[in-house]
Chains A and B, each alone.
Chain A
Amino acid sequence: MKILYFAWLKEKIGMSEEEILLPSTVTTAGDLFAWMRTRGPGFAAALAEGNAVKVAVNHVYAQLKDPVSDTDEIAFFPPVTGG
């Protein structure tokens, strides 16, 4: 699975993208959030619940219940500030 990070998330996590192998227990976007937070203090801090981090699956906003799989492109990012 390809994972992208944007804006301050990229800085907190220390990279803009990575390729990972999804554990078989992770089947939804909510599972993915929970698992990502266990990967280290940088991940836990960046993806803490109070940060309102958004997740997109294949370029579409996803809800926590939405499915994810190894072939998806996932992006984590802060609330948007364009316009």
Chain B
Amino acid sequence: MIRVQSETFDLGNEIAKLSQGNGRIGAVVSFLGLVRDTVEIDGKPAALTTMTLEHYPQMTERQLQELEQEARRRWDLQAVLIIHRYGDLRPGDPIVLVATASAHRQVAFDACNFLIDWLKTKAPFWKHEATSKGRHWVDAKTSDGDAAKRWINPKS
């Protein structure tokens, strides 16, 4: 299931709903991304006041649906949940949740890892940061691209 929303969410509630009523689930793995209070600008720390996430709604929806389908093709998953927020966020706020549920842990770990790596390089979101040293758009990290490349060769 995919949700793109401006409102916050509660990790515990979401995980409880995900596994409720499905006795075949023996493992749930989740990744929760949070807004940090400090960012680095030209190698020096700056206090973050607001992070604004812009997105391309129709494409985001489509890309995230495709990501979920790809994860389900590769692994035997009982449930998948991806929540991504947009709009103005503050330090400590949750940005993204990826949760995967399966019979045993390894599948859930691998699928969750895959989903967040791919989401970071494919889902059309852009972070804009307002800090104590001014405002700027966040640059894409090459390390995120490298992390996503680990998953290019499907295991089956």
* A residues apposed to B, CB below 8 Å: 4, 6-8, 52, 56, 59-61, 75, 77-83
Contacts and interface: CB of A to CB of B under 8 A. Distances in A.
Given A80-B125, A81-B127, A82-B119, A75 B138 contact: no
Given A4-B56, A7-B137, A75-B56, A82 B128 contact: no
Contacts of A56: 56, 59, 124
Given A82-B124, A83-B119, A83-B120, 16 more contacts: A4-B56, A6-B124, A6-B126, A56-B56, A59-B56, A59-B59, A61-B122, A77-B124, A77-B126, A78-B140, A79-B139, A79-B140, A81-B140, A82-B119, A83-B33, A83-B144
B81 to A, nearest CB: 15
Nearest to B136: A8
Interface in B19-63: 33, 53-56, 58-59, 62-63
A61 B118 CA distance: 14
Nearest to B123: A82
Given A4-B56, A6-B54, A75-B56, A81 B62 contact: no
Contacts of A83: 33, 84, 95-96, 116, 119-120, 123, 125, 144
A80 B121 contact: yes
B123 A80 contact: yes
Nearest to A59: B59
B140 A7 contact: no
Interface residues of B, number: 28
Contacts of B116: 83
B53 A82 contact: yes
25 contacts: A4-B56, A6-B56, A6-B126, A7-B54, A7-B126, A7-B128, A56-B124, A60-B62, A75-B56, A77-B56, A77-B124, A77-B126, A78-B137, A80-B120, A80-B121, A80-B122, A80-B123, A81-B125, A81-B126, A81-B139, A82-B119, A82-B120, A82-B127, A83-B96, A83-B116
A82 B56 contact: no
